[in-house]
Amino acid sequence: MTTCKVETTSMELVPFSVINEYLKEKLLHPSRYSRSTYSFLKIFQHGLYFNFTKQKHKVIFNYLGFPLWFQEFIYWLKSKRNASNANKKHTLKEYVILDPGRVIPDENQHWHSIYFDKIAELIGKDRLTIINQREASKNTADFRLKDLTHPHPALDVAERTLLKEINDSLKFARQSKQFDASEMSQIRSAMHIFFEEFRVYYNVLKNQPTKKLLFICHYHNEGLIAATKCLGIECIEFQHGLIASNDLYYVYHEQFASVIGKSFFPEKILVYGPYWKRILENGCEYHSHQIFIAGDYLYRTNQNEAAAIQKENLILVCAQKNMHDDYTGYVRRLMEHLKTHPDWRVIVKLHPLEKNKEAYYELTSLGAEIRDIETPLDTLLGRAKIQISIYSTTFYDALGFNVCNFSLQNYGSMSDYAADMIAEAVALPLDVHENPVTKYLSEEQDVQSYALRSEVYSPFNPSIVAEAIGLHQVDN
């Protein structure tokens, strides 16, 4: 269905702890967002989150709430448009990797998938199809998702059944008066996007021999998960990065336990180390037997070589996406601090998905250096003496590199996450007014007090991965 933006606005950054309390209150009664087959818990979360953070541009036109026969008629009309292109065929294999397109170069400037390079090698080309979610990604893949999204046929029985549950759920939510008009508008839009994405993946995977689908990040992938469940394909999540105890989409409170099983979660998740498994076990979305410690399956440059690089008077600032105002503001302050330490340099490492890169490149006029995806993080950690961020997986990446991690406290919208970095013993606190070099030099920084790297990133274990994804044989 047509999706048109009705208003554009910037996102209001709010601490996750505040958002979580709002969501727990709004979603107290599962019956208001659940039906007999499915619970739309996470989709309601999306809509409420967008409303709470004033993302009005997320509201899009849709036909949900119109008579069901009319919605089905609209889909039938769309199936007749460009129907000649609908006959394009594709063939998938037993395993499908849905790759988000995060890549890193090796020493020969060959690009590798950060998340799935090792996993793809383990499965082997004969049994595997790789689908790139991003068009311009440089990693090797069999298909781009865009090339597989031909015009869909009219709704079949499974699609009509899901569409009916969506409409029934929205009707019940509206009648409950639990949600105001603005919240319902965002929820309907989130439901519309969910169903459109479901149709994409359902039609890509339908009538294929695929048995297992591997991907990262279960949230905002509910349409994909719904499609795999409809088609009897096992859906397996690989850890994407930081998982915190106050995460919006992990470590769910027990109040949601009654509907978690039908709320579009994967069957399994593979994590980097026992540290992350312990965090997930505090929630109700995954049981212990569903959590596999795969070890560090990320593609990295030679870590031993990176750790042996000569240390420099270098501060590495690792930025996070959608937080350019916080980070550029801090780097401007940091450059003032360094006037008392002119022998120190600053490198800002951009998040791979950063959309406002130009805001960072303006910092070069102050003497800061900017690095994008072409420079591996491990290389920078090997050179740096100090890393500064707010909350980031890069704090965990720095373990074992003899780097002093400083987490900016009481700064920006994610201060509660930053406090977690201190509580979890992966960083030391730093106030924005403090000079990090002075603090680093004046205090004996004991990196031995940090969490053990082996707890966070265990050695890669191909046998555990093979067990989790159902490979019968693996060459060690």
Predicted local confidence at residue 64, as pLDDT: 96
Q: Are strands 103-105 and 111-113 parallel, antiparallel or unpaired?
A: antiparallel
Predicted local confidence at residue 180, as pLDDT: 96
pLDDT 10s digits, 92-141: 999 999 999 888 887 788 888 999 999 999 999 999 999 999 877 777 89
Predicted local confidence at residue 300, as pLDDT: 85
Residue with tokens 């294999």: 93
Predicted local confidence at residue 308, as pLDDT: 61
pLDDT 10s digits, 46-74: 999 999 989 999 999 999 999 999 999 99
Predicted local confidence at residue 4, as pLDDT: 38
DSSP alpha helix (H) spans, 149-262: 157-176, 181-205, 222-231, 257-260
Predicted local confidence at residue 446, as pLDDT: 56
CA distance 284 to 254: 6
Q: Which of 77-81, 439-443, 449-453 has the lowest mean pLDDT?
A: 449-453
CA distance 364 to 372: 14
pLDDT 10s digits, 461-476: 999 999 999 997 544 4
Q: Is 11's pLDDT higher than 70?
A: no
pLDDT (mean) for 17-22: 85
Query: In sequence order, what are the residues at sequence separation of 6 or more whose Cβ sits closer than 8 angstroms to the Cβ of residue 208?
Result: 91, 92
Question: What is the reported pTM?
Answer: 0.88
CATH code at 303-451: 3.40.50.2000
pLDDT 10s digits, 204-256: 999 999 999 999 999 999 999 999 999 999 999 999 998 988 888 999 999 99
Q: Which of 24-28, 277-281, 458-462 has the lowest mean pLDDT?
A: 24-28
**Mean pLDDT of all residues in the chain?**
89
CA distance 68 to 89: 30
- Spell out the domain ranges in the chain: 16-82+150-266, 89-148, 303-451
Predicted local confidence at residue 92, as pLDDT: 96
pLDDT band at residue 410 using 50, 70 and 90 as cut-offs: confident
Provide Rg for the chain, Cα atoms.
Answer: 23
Residue 218 or residue 446, greater confidence: 218
pLDDT (mean) for 398-410: 90
pLDDT 10s digits, 150-168: 888 999 999 999 999 999 9
Residue 436 or residue 449, greater confidence: 436
Predicted local confidence at residue 245, as pLDDT: 83
Predicted local confidence at residue 8, as pLDDT: 39
**In contact, 388 and 334? CB cutoff 8 Å:** yes
